[in-house]
Amino acid sequence: MVTKTLRLESSRNLPKLGDYDTYSFAFTLTQPPSGTGAPASSSSQRLAVSVKLSRSLTAPWKLVESDLLKVAYMFALDHLRKRIAAGINPVEEVLDLNTTTQARDCPYDPAHVTLSPGTTYDIEVSTRLGFAQ
């Protein structure tokens, strides 16, 4: 298994579009040096995730703007963790969350979410077995 490190660089609110509140998150994904005998240096990749939250979805949640940012962050973080763990390195992702794609209840408690740039997460990446294509 390979472990990659995901680091939150920044978060921001984007202008409202129609029924959506939109939030943007920038991350850096770092892969440890390969064991190929080459000089040891890690490689980094910038990742961006935009989360669009429909107001028809978030209205029943009754959260203030700062809490919506935290909830959007958790959606982005969980999405990236799953993709990276599956061996996919997404560069730019857009999550469109509305009443069709999400359950009615908010899946995260903003009181338990810390949103601070510089926070890192180690992610175990599964290795695929079989022949390379």
Which DSSP string corresponds to 22-46? Answer: EEEEEEEEEEPPPSSSS----EEEE
Report pLDDT digits (tens) over 10-61: 999 999 888 899 999 999 999 877 655 555 567 899 999 999 999 998 988 9
Q: Please give the Cα distance from 15 to 12 (Å, whole number).
A: 10
Report pLDDT digits (tens) over 57-111: 898 898 888 899 999 999 999 999 999 999 887 889 999 999 888 878 899 999 9
In contact, 55 and 65? CB cutoff 8 Å: no
Confidence of residue 130 (pLDDT cuts 50, 70, 90): low
How big is the chain by its Cα radius of gyration, in Å? 17
Q: Please provide the distance, in angstroms rounded to a whole number, between the alpha carbons at the two ends of the chain.
A: 20
Amino acid letter, residue 92: E
> What is the pTM (predicted TM-score) of this model?
0.86
pLDDT of res. 41: 63
Beta bridge partners of 69: none
Q: In the chain, where are the structural domains located?
A: 1-32+68-133
